[in-house]
């Protein structure tokens, strides 16, 4: 099976092969990883801590060794490859992502972040560049969390945030057993925790999983921050009654209130910031009968923004509006916070250096907030981060149809390399 490589190369502009970066090598590697866990739909299935994720890690380790890196794996299965710099004692610059996928995922999510970091190293090697600081590329374990309904396991373990290990997967297989198959152990898992002072900065290249870059005709963009999230469950409580015998002016219809709230909710984010979003994704109506006035409606509200202040403001507005609307319709409203995750902004200084690297590669910078979580979100709680998004065709991801052209992948490698060189001079 070499269809992915063929398709990548068919569209490739070989003029992008310069400064030691090679499109053919990158395409071969994307193909080689895609071959591990290839599904019937030609997607990828490399669940965290599965044999497939393990095989992919082992393959990349071989490439890392071939590139002259010092390779090691921690007790959470995170793989590090260190390129020793001129001043090896300084905190490192780190870049990478993950190799695990969702059950029938694509070939670029995670993989591209690992391979662009490796491509930067290959390019330095080919052009006899030794960085000042040591550089580490990383493969984080189990980012997607598809098997244990968790996620970001490796990065959390490295940062010392993992309070509890998952217990069982969806088939009842204990996590410990899964770890043992991977040559890991629950007893030593937490020793993966690393002193944050060893790491000066972390950079992640990732496919956008959205359409902003495509719409703006840009191959690569700057992530301004990773959204925090407030999850709310709202309940509008009215009174169920007969749909025929209750006059319109004597009703406490919970669904009418909920409907007005849903509409209003969609207008609130722009009041606080241009990056904020708020979504009602789940609605449960009780008793849910065609001839019964709805007595209760429970709905979920997912509120996100990259700025802490506006996120809190928006969550406050959501509740305030729910109360106001409930009063108008003579129903009660209750709410419960189901999730509270702080946003991780990217420092302005980082974004400026990112913009310089983009401009040097002939790309006018574009700035995009990330609504989805990534390993960089975990690392970024204590360590300065930067993130680049790479154009995804039709914004499709977590799907075999996920696609990023080789031109865009290689451009991302150039942008990353240029940025890393600027970053080590700026630190």
Beta-sheet pairing, 367-370 with 135-140: unpaired
Contact predicate 255/206, CB 8 Å: no
Count of residues of this chain found to bind Zn ion when the rule CB under 5 A is applied = 2
Q: Measured from the CB of residue 143, what is the shortest distance to Zn ion in angstroms?
A: 6
Per CB under 5 A, the segment of 8-16, 109-117, 125-133, 236-244 that binds Zn ion is 109-117
Q: Measured from the CB of residue 316, what is the shortest distance to Zn ion in angstroms?
A: 31
- Is the Cβ of residue 99 or residue 257 nearer to Zn ion in the bound state? 99
Angle between helices 348-360 and 406-426 (to 10 degrees): 130
- Is the Cβ of residue 48 or residue 110 nearer to Zn ion in the bound state? 110
Under the criterion CB under 5 A, does residue 402 sit at the interface with Zn ion?
A: no
- Is the Cβ of residue 119 or residue 421 nearer to Zn ion in the bound state? 119
With H, G, I as helix, E, B as strand and everything else as coil, classify residue 425.
Answer: helix
Q: Measured from the CB of residue 364, what is the shortest distance to Zn ion in angstroms?
A: 26
- Is the Cβ of residue 255 or residue 385 nearer to Zn ion in the bound state? 385
- Is the Cβ of residue 77 or residue 110 nearer to Zn ion in the bound state? 110
Under the criterion CB under 5 A, does residue 106 sit at the interface with Zn ion?
A: no
Per CB under 5 A, the segment of 106-114, 131-139, 245-253, 305-313 that binds Zn ion is 106-114
Q: Measured from the CB of residue 206, what is the shortest distance to Zn ion in angstroms?
A: 6
Alpha helices in 100-246 (DSSP H): 111-126, 153-159, 175-181, 212-215
Provide DSSP, 182-219. Answer: TT--TTTGGGG---GGGEEEEEEEEE-SSSHHHHTT-S
Contact predicate 111/9, CB 8 Å: no
From the CB of residue 182, how many other CB atoms can be counted at a distance below 10 Å?
19
Under the criterion CB under 5 A, does residue 110 sit at the interface with Zn ion?
A: yes
Taking CA 399 as the corner, what is the angle to CA 396 and CA 400, rounded to the nearest 5 degrees? 110
Q: Measured from the CB of residue 372, what is the shortest distance to Zn ion in angstroms?
A: 8
Under the criterion CB under 5 A, does residue 109 sit at the interface with Zn ion?
A: yes
- The secondary structure of residue 369, as a DSSP letter, is E
Under the criterion CB under 5 A, does residue 77 sit at the interface with Zn ion?
A: no
Angle between helices 23-34 and 51-66 (to 10 degrees): 150
The footprint of Zn ion (CB under 5 A) covers 109-110
């Amino acid at each position: 099976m070499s269809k992915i490589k063929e398709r990548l190369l068919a569209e490739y502009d070989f003029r992008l092969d310069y400064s030691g970066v090679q499109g053919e090598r990158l395409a071969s590697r994307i193909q080689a990883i895609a071959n591990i866990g290839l599904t019937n739909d030609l997607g990828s299935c490399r669940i965290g801590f599965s044999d497939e994720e393990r095989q992919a890690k082992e393959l990349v380790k071989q490439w890392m060794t071939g590139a002259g890196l010092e390779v090691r794996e921690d007790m959470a299965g995170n793989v590090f490859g260190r390129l020793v710099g001129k001043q090896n004692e300084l905190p490192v610059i780190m870049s990478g992502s993950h190799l695990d996928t969702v059950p029938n995922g694509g070939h670029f999510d995670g993989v591209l972040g690992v391979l662009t970091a490796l491509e930067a190293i290959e390019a330095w090697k080919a052009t006899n560049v030794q960085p000042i600081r040591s550089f580490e590329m990383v493969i984080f374990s189990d980012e997607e969390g598809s098997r244990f309904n968790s996620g970001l396991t490796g990065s959390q373990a490295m940062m010392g945030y993992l309070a509890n290990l998952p217990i069982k997967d969806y088939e009842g297989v204990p996590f410990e057993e899964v770890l043992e198959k991977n040559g890991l152990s629950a007893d030593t898992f937490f020793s993966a925790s690393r002193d944050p002072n060893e790491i000066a900065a972390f950079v992640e290249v990732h496919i956008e999983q959205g359409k902003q870059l495509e719409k703006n005709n840009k191959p690569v963009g700057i992530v301004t921050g990773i959204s925090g999230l407030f999850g709310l469950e709202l309940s509008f409580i009215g009174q169920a009654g007969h749909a025929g015998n209750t006059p319109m002016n004597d009703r406490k219809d919970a669904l009418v209130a909920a409907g007005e709230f849903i509409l209003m909710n969609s207008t609130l984010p722009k009041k606080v910031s241009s990056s904020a979003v708020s979504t009602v994704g789940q609605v449960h109506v009780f008793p849910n009968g065609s001839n019964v006035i709805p007595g209760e409606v429970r709905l979920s509200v997912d509120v996100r923004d990259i700025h802490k202040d506006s996120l809190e403001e928006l969550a406050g507005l959501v509740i305030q509006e729910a109360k106001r609307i409930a009063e108008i319709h003579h129903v009660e409203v209750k709410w419960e916070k189901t999730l509270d995750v702080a946003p991780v902004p990217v420092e302005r200084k980082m974004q400026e250096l990112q913009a310089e690297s983009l401009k040097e590669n002939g790309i006018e910078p574009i700035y995009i907030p990330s609504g989805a979580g990534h390993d960089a979100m975990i690392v970024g709680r204590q360590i300065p981060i930067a993130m680049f998004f790479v154009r995804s065709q039709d914004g499709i991801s977590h799907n075999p149809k996920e696609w990023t052209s080789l031109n865009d992948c290689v451009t991302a490698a150039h942008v990353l390399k240029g940025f890393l060189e600027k970053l080590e001079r700026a630190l």
